[in-house]
Copies of this chain bind each other. A is one copy, B any other.
Amino acid sequence: MEFKVTVLGTASALPTVNRYPSACAVNLHGRLFLVDCGEGTQMRMRKYGISFAKIDSIFISHMHGDHVFGIFGLLSTMSLAGRTAPLRVYAPGQFATLLSFFKANFAESIKYEIVHVSLGKITGPSIIYETKTIEISAFPLNHRIAAFGFMFKEKEPAFNIRKSMIENHALSLYEIARLKEGKDVVRPDGSILLNSEFAYKPYVPRSFAYCLDTAPFRELPGWVAGSDLLYHEATFDDSLEDMAVATFHSTARQAAACARNAGVRKLLLGHFSSRFKDLGELLGQAREEFPESYLAVEGEEIGIKLDRHIDKD
């Protein structure tokens, strides 16, 4: 059960020689999701060996160029690479204009359907994608234009029944089914089979939250509470807090405060202003608020570890 995150671009509006605009690949239970698609995303994917063919869906946080200008080339390349399966793009309402422009002018060779799922009406955390084992939610951010964060998480798994209990108590199929649903079972003789004794959760669901671009706001820590990994923008340092306010961005310290208030396990900082050649200062300021802060590194795969509960009986 894979859960891996690879940041493909850590730049903000101005890319540098080593920092490309925003994009992030999430591999969750074997499905590949691309979040944001700044210019050069397809080159970064090739460089880091991430297959175009495996992209399940694309999520666009907001319609600023540094988060979306790579989608023209990627959509074209996916067709040339043989895609025929429909592609869903979860994006703000304004993406419709981009898609119409693309289809009218550059879709000569596009051999698959591109479906825009508009995030336009979302005002709080809302599930936009789910399978039996995972779900992806979107929630609004606080930026100059409509922007959305995304939460990728595993669903709560069903209970497993302790093997020893099945034999020792000669559990019936009916009893097993009830215990798996999380219920206690009362036997005809009045004895009670407690779910907490007979069953256990095989693992703790993992989650990854993506919050680019945003200024801090009151609800955000609650919406990303308890994430294993929070990727939060950190465009500026303390000295440029006024600029962060004016442009609806965050400082590294503000990102870290959000991580602390949300009680996440690990914070990943990105979307760095091109003015910072050395990012040590940003990291230092973040760690004063939240020690488990790290700088995103393009191409570095971050696995989110599964806490597996073993049946020890």
Contacts and interface: CB of A to CB of B under 8 A. Distances in A.
Interface of A: 13-17, 20-21, 39-40, 42-43, 46-47, 63-66, 69-70, 72-73, 76-77, 80-81, 94, 97-98, 101, 104-106
A99 to B, nearest CB: 11
29 contacts: A13-B76, A13-B80, A14-B80, A14-B81, A15-B43, A15-B77, A16-B46, A17-B43, A17-B47, A21-B73, A39-B40, A39-B42, A39-B43, A39-B69, A39-B70, A39-B73, A40-B40, A40-B43, A63-B105, A64-B106, A65-B72, A65-B73, A65-B76, A65-B106, A69-B72, A69-B73, A72-B72, A98-B105, A101-B101
Contacts of A21: 73
Contacts of A80: 13-14
Contacts of A17: 43, 46-47
A73 B104 CA distance: 20
A81 B94 CA distance: 26
Contacts of A43: 15, 17, 20, 39-40
Nearest to A274: B80
Contacts of A63: 105
A8 to B, nearest CB: 13
Given A40-B40, A63-B105, 5 more contacts: A14-B81, A17-B47, A39-B43, A65-B72, A66-B76
A138 to B, nearest CB: 21
A47 B15 CA distance: 11
Contacts of A106: 64-65
